[in-house]
Amino acid sequence: MGRPLTGPADGAATLSFWHATAGDDWAPRPALDGDSSCDVAVVGAGLTGLWTAYYLLRDDPNLRVVVLESEVAGFGASGRNGGWCSALFPASLGKLASLPGSSRAAALAQAAAMRDSVDEVGRVAAAEGIEAHFRKGGTVVVARTPAEESRARAAVADSAAWGLGDHLRWLPADEARQRLGATNVRGATYTPDCARIHPARLVRGLARVVVDAGATIHEQTRVTAIEGRRVRTDRGTVTAEVVVRATEGYTPGLAGERRTVVPVYSLVVATEPLPAAAWDMIGLADRETFSDHRHLIVYGQRTADDRLVFGGRGAPYHFGSRVRPDYDRVPRVFAHLRSTLQELFPVLADVRIEHAWGGPLGIPRDWCASVGLDRATGQAWAGGYVGDGVATTNLAGRTLRDLVLDHDTELTRLPWVNHRSRRWEPEPLRWLGANAGLRVVTLADAEERLTGRPSVLARLAAPLLGGH
């Protein structure tokens, strides 16, 4: 069971299965010791912050880059997610095309940049000697009810209408079952644009590479506020020409950022290593990541040591956008994940769950991730990934490099650049809305099981849940 960091990284290895198997020394790097200055200060040593530092220093090794982290690099979602390095972006192509100044061509450019980002993560990991278990086997998402099949076929048709038929195709039942031997499979969607990774190995390896390139990472240094070009921490103030906020689900803990995103928890379990006979029945021979077309999101992968890692939403939003270590563990959700696994794969009826953990992800009000730089204030940001962050953070890091260094590139002209999501409602409206949305998607799945038709509840709630 994952637990919070209680001392100088003494508990980091127990935060998740990924942390326990990262093969790394979790001893914290030195904290900030008084006031200092630099060219670029990055708040948050997750993937967004580290990719930003990496690409800045690859472009200009003389830059003074300081990364500030309240715990240790990879403590948060970057080190304990589901391990999907995917071209998924939280906003649809239609929504991207409708953003101010955007177009159909711009939305398609964003999609292409996301696909390139998957490959770029693998390229950098190989070039830098980061053994992150990168394996690009794609994603299979099975349809197990008539309503799910209808939704899946509509997604394939929509992809084809955008000219992206090669990137999302329908698999008939027999072919789908060859990839994923779940129960009641009627067919599946398949995309090649995803790789399975070990997230903690990726983020910890990247941190080492960034330090070797010349960055300074101050861990155990809690940032309390970003005030223009000054970053205030519990150990001193850092002044920089540009300050990058890369705090994702922890953003509400910064002064003035309470309503920027809502932190929503996703929880995950990992089985014991499974025998070859079990995998013969489950599938995933190409190490595909997998899901199904239900409304309440679930996700899984086959690890390098043949465990099944399986996660999903379902934990409540906490009043006031609070983020606390004890929220990482919700026994009711862990039990539901186990029962869902057993229902999908009866061969796992007696399997032992060896690890269970969770953590917050960040959701902006319009469910559209963004990256940007305000030159007047020197403040830059990236985030709002809604759980689709592993590849998106890489795109964010390269885009922030270009913005900070004032390079006009194809990346800086993508539609998510300098997009501003409106703020979430004040409490108690935020709490009521977020948890009502969770309840709706749960009921929508139950409705579809009863009626066999697409959920009316889900259609009515789509605006609240990021649809349009």
pTM of the predicted protein model: 0.95
Tell me the two tokens of residue 155. 């997604």
H, E, C per residue of 1-37: CCCCCCCCCCCHHHCCHHHHCCCCCCCCCCCCCCCEE
Residue burial 76-108, b: 16+ Cβ < 10 Å; e: rest: bbbbbbbbbbbbbbbbbbebbbebeebeeebbb
- The pLDDT tens digits along the chain (468 residues) read 233 333 334 578 889 999 999 999 899 999 999 999 999 999 999 999 999 999 999 999 999 999 999 999 999 999 999 999 999 999 999 999 999 999 999 999 999 999 999 999 999 999 999 999 999 999 999 999 999 999 999 999 999 999 999 999 999 999 999 999 999 999 999 999 999 999 999 999 999 999 999 999 999 999 999 999 999 999 999 999 999 999 999 999 999 999 999 999 999 999 999 999 999 999 999 999 999 999 899 999 999 999 999 999 889 999 999 999 999 999 999 999 999 999 999 999 999 999 999 999 999 999 999 999 999 999 999 999 999 999 999 999 999 999 999 999 999 999 999 999 999 999 999 999 989 988 888 888 888 888 888 888 887 766 665 554
Whole-angstrom distance, CA of residue 252 vs CA of residue 209 = 29
Strands (E), 83-168: 84-86, 139-143
pLDDT of residue 415: 98
> Position of tokens 């009626």?
451
Strands (E), 114-180: 139-143, 169-172
Tell me the two tokens of residue 404. 């900070």
Contact 192, 211 (CB under 8 A): no
Let me know how long the chain is. 468
Q: Where are the alpha helices (DSSP H) in 365-468?
A: 390-404, 429-451, 456-461
The number of CA neighbours under 13 Å toward the Cβ of 87 is: 26
Nearest to 364 by CA among 323, 423, 408: 423
Residue 396's SS3 state is helix
Whole-angstrom distance, CA of residue 186 vs CA of residue 293 = 11
Cis preceding-peptide flag for 8 (omega within 30 of 0): no
Q: What does the DSSP assignment read for 287-313?
A: --EEEES-SS-EEEEE-TTS-EEEEE-
Whole-angstrom distance, CA of residue 174 vs CA of residue 400 = 44
pLDDT of residue 325: 93
Whole-angstrom distance, CA of residue 443 vs CA of residue 458 = 9
Whole-angstrom distance, CA of residue 64 vs CA of residue 59 = 12
Query: Distances from the Cα of 166 to the Cαs of 2, 119, 190, in angstroms?
Result: 39, 17, 10
Tell me the two tokens of residue 349. 């009826």
Beta-sheet pairing, 223-227 with 216-218: unpaired
Nearest to 361 by CA among 272, 268, 256: 268
**CA quadruple 87, 141, 20, 358: dihedral positive or negative?**
positive
Tell me the two tokens of residue 281. 């029945």
